[in-house]
Amino acid sequence: MDEYESVSLVKPEVFVFRIPPLGSNKGHKAAEWNLDKPDWTGRLKLVSIGGDKLEIRLEDKTTGALYAKCPIDAYPGGLAIEPVTDSSRYFVIRLKNDSGQSAFVGCGFSDRGDSFDLNVALQDHFKHLSRACSSGGAVEPEKPLPDLAFREGQTISIKIGKMDGAAVKRPKATTGTSTNVVPLLPPPPGPNSSVSNRSRFPPPNAPASSSNSNNLLDF
């Protein structure tokens, strides 16, 4: 029986690069990847398998054919996926085929928000595993939400109670002074009000000029 699969994240465009061997223990740098000429462009899916396994799948944009996959056993940490040291939009991932052969490649996005979403989805998956292990319970796969959309021709009816027409009773005004009574504010001055009336309610000060925002530098 095949294991249940759940798609946690889909990104319609991801870039893959051949990367040079790591020359030092300081980490990978995306600036060394010839970023203006990616070696492959396609779609990225993050798939949960059986509730506890997780892998990145690189697929063709048009046909959905599998290009390569990256099984992930831990994040952060582990060798399957590692952020680069000079950008938040690029990662180094370890691809594996069914024969067990592996290769390290670089991948990244044009939008920093896409890499942020991937990072959050990875952390959420392993936090869920950690909570399940600490409670001693089995990990249940995340099932898709039921389809609650209306079917063709389906309608609903809503009944609203009728008003009885009874007059609303208002509390009688009290005489005398009381510390609990909130005084009414005077109405705003009309167009024909005198200067003395307008002076009692001066117009608000003009808003201060906004300061120049700093330019955000992107890699």
Residues 84-137 pLDDT 10s: 999 999 999 999 998 989 999 999 999 999 999 999 999 999 888 888 777 655
Residue 91 lies in a domain: yes
| 107, part of any domain | yes
Residue in the block written with tokens 């995340």 = 142
193 lies in some domain:
no
d(CA 31, CA 90): 10
Give Cα separations from 47 to 57, 72, 197 (angstroms). Answer: 7, 10, 69
Write out pLDDT tens, residues 196-205: 444 444 555 5
Distance between CA 43 and CA 198 in Å, rounded? 64
* Any domain includes 53: yes
196 found inside a domain: no
The answer as to whether 57 is a domain residue is yes
CATH assignment of the domain containing 83 = 2.30.29.30
In a domain, 55, yes or no: yes
Say if CB 61 and CB 42 are below 8 A apart: yes
Domain count, the chain: 1
Whether the pTM exceeds 0.75: the reply is no
Residue span of the structural domain in which 103 resides = 5-19+38-134
211 lies in some domain: no
